[in-house]
Amino acid sequence: MSDLLVLPVVIPLATMVATLLAWRAIRLQRILHLIGAAGLAVASIVVAVSVWNGGIMHLQVGSWSSPFGITLVADVLSAAMLVVVGLTGAAVGVYAVGSIDGERERFGFYPLYHALLMGVSGAFLAGDLFNLYVWFEVMLISSFVLLVLGNETEQVRGASTYVIINLVSSLCFLAAIGLLYGLTGSLNLADLASRLPGVGEPALVTTIAMLFLIAFGIKAAVFPLFFWLPASYHTPPVAVSAIFAGLLTKVGVYALIRVFTLLFTQDIGYTHTMLLGIAMLTMITGVLGAAAQFEFRKVLSFHIVSQIGYMVLGLALFTPLALLGAVFYIIHHIIVKTNLFLVSGLAHRFGDTFELKSLGGLYRSKPWLAILFAIPALSLAGLPPLSGFWAKFVIIRAGLETEAYVAVAVALVVGLLTLYSMTKIWNEAFWKPLVSADRTSEADSERAVNEGLLPAPSLAWTVTPVVVLALITLGIGLYAEPLAIVADRAADELLLPEAYVEAVLGSGVAENQSLP
């Protein structure tokens, strides 16, 4: 059964190769793209069911024995993240068929999209730090090209900031890997978990932990390392923005959770207190940035930052309930944030702009779109009975139990300001009268279809995934227990990593590890 772990990597890899071979056949590329996205979703669910029923799965690629070689590991957290990757990858993949222009299709959008999904899936399955670094680089390369595909001035400007800051992250990551290997002689996560408690250099271990915090903090867009995100996420096509918003920063959060629960727990009074301060500042700066913006995707981009703060807060509190809340929050946020970016694309289609001041009247002309916006928007703000309410409720309750009253107060205020930002979008784009009746975007879109610049029928392709994601948000909100059970089991595994270590190294091996 452990061989199943290669599927979430092999399927997008095969799809990438197949779409490259069909370079000149755009229609065939679209078909292969959709088949590959659906295949990844199915494979992710199969892996998740196997992990849930059989426990942590582990595969040594190339038959190398642990802790050597390439290690793939799937626990409940990894499996849950893979399912969300498959779900959002399929949803945005369908949306892309109806929204990506012909020029980008001809210059490799579909192979790059599946390269990105491969990198994200590989990162969630990586059982050693070096291969986690490799998957991060796959993500960086594919995301950078997707960001500049089209070669528009604003895209290139945003991509420059994006790639420079992420290269700094990569350098910090490599430095941390080198120091950790020199200290322990291993990069396998399970092996490191058994070796680090016996290292007699606590100050050096904490210093290495700070390097990982910088490296993964940049990826996760935490304070003060977040400024690259709102400068770049509003520049590419909506399908690219949506998959970035849903997945890329969550890989950074996942990496933070993994290393600060499995590896760096010797000095939580220092490391996790620092994470607590970072979480609060991330929430505050992100939501204030969103409040100051009047461009649809810029508002949403800053809210990515503020919501990352809630996830890091769950890690910083470091209790079973807090980690449950962090896992629940990640899954909820991926679905909601992806959907909000997709909704922004529909608003642009009908309003011909992302500028809120120039939008208006969508509630009257497209009431169904107003409903599709309201569901994820109110969920993001944390209103009951939507998924965001339960995510925030668990995090705040965990903060009260640990007497982190300042953090709880910050979380509540940020929730109110999030509601203000969503209300601002509602008032400007949906409720107020249309500023100008000279809106020809739908006619323009029809002409674009006739000229071959957009695939047809574009509207059905773009509305369907928005509806599906909105229904999932409603489903999680109205029946949160299944996801809470998954998050609870993931939290238990994170706090008691012996099962992870034993699954990779074998029974009794961890206790007998000796330093080189």
pLDDT tens-digit map of 294-318: 899 999 999 999 999 999 999 999 9
Question: Any idea which of 96-100, 202-206, 433-437, 489-493 has the lowest mean pLDDT?
Answer: 433-437
Q: Three-state secondary structure along 318-369?
A: CCHHHHHHHHHHHHHHHHHHHHHHHHHHHHHHHHCCCEHHHCCCHHHHCHHH
Which amino acid appears at position 145 of this protein?
V
Q: Three-state secondary structure along 17-78?
A: HHHHHCCCCHHHHHHHHHHHHHHHHHHHHHHHHHHHHHCCEEEEECCCCCCCCEEEEECHHH
Question: Any idea which of 75-84, 123-132, 299-308, 442-451 has the lowest mean pLDDT?
Answer: 442-451
Q: What are phi and psi of 61, to 5 degrees?
A: -70, 135
What Å distances lie between residue 279 and 150, 154, 209, 223, CA to CA? 35, 30, 17, 8
Q: Using CA atoms, how far apart are residues 300 and 305, in angstroms rounded to an integer? A: 9
Predicted confidence at residue 452, as pLDDT, reads 41
Predicted confidence at residue 507, as pLDDT, reads 62
Q: Using CA atoms, how far apart are residues 373 and 376, in angstroms rounded to an integer? A: 6
Position 439 pLDDT exceeds 70: no
Predicted confidence at residue 149, as pLDDT, reads 84
Predicted confidence at residue 371, as pLDDT, reads 94
Band (pLDDT 50/70/90 cuts) for residue 434 is confident
Mean pLDDT of 29-34: 95
Top-confidence residue, 456 or 25: 25
Predicted confidence at residue 153, as pLDDT, reads 74
Predicted confidence at residue 103, as pLDDT, reads 85
Predicted confidence at residue 17, as pLDDT, reads 96
Band (pLDDT 50/70/90 cuts) for residue 454 is very low
Three-state DSSP at 233 gives coil
Predicted confidence at residue 513, as pLDDT, reads 40
Q: Using CA atoms, how far apart are residues 339 and 245, in angstroms rounded to an integer? A: 10
List the one residue out of 111, 100, 146, 122 whose CA is nearest residue 18.
111
Predicted confidence at residue 436, as pLDDT, reads 55
Mean pLDDT of 227-242: 88
Mean pLDDT of 422-436: 85
- What residues does 44 pair with on adjacent strands? none
pLDDT digits (tens, 9 = 90+) for 152-189: 777 777 778 888 888 899 999 999 999 999 999 899 99
**Assign residue 120 a region: left if phi > 0, alpha if psi is -120 to 50, beta otherwise?**
alpha
Contact 122, 9 (CB under 8 A): yes
Mean pLDDT of 218-245: 89
pLDDT digits (tens, 9 = 90+) for 360-379: 888 888 999 999 999 999 99
Q: Using CA atoms, how far apart are residues 128 and 150, in angstroms rounded to an integer? A: 36
Predicted confidence at residue 2, as pLDDT, reads 80
Q: Is the pTM of the predicted complex or chain greater than 0.75?
A: yes
Mean pLDDT, rounded, of the chain: 89
Burial level of 199, CB count in 10 A (0-12/13-18/19+)? Answer: middle
CA 153 to chain centroid, in Å, comes to 26
Residue whose structure tokens are 């998924």: 387
Q: State yes or no: cis peptide before 455, omega within 30 of 0.
A: no
Burial annotation 349-368 (CB, 10 A radius, 16+ → b, else e): bbbbbbbbebbbbbbeebee
Position 78 pLDDT exceeds 90: yes
Q: Using CA atoms, how far apart are residues 375 and 383, in angstroms rounded to an integer? A: 10
Band (pLDDT 50/70/90 cuts) for residue 352 is confident
Q: Using CA atoms, how far apart are residues 235 and 20, in angstroms rounded to an integer? A: 25
The highest-confidence range among 196-205, 422-431, 498-507, by mean pLDDT, is 422-431
Position 85 pLDDT exceeds 80: yes
Mean pLDDT of 417-429: 92
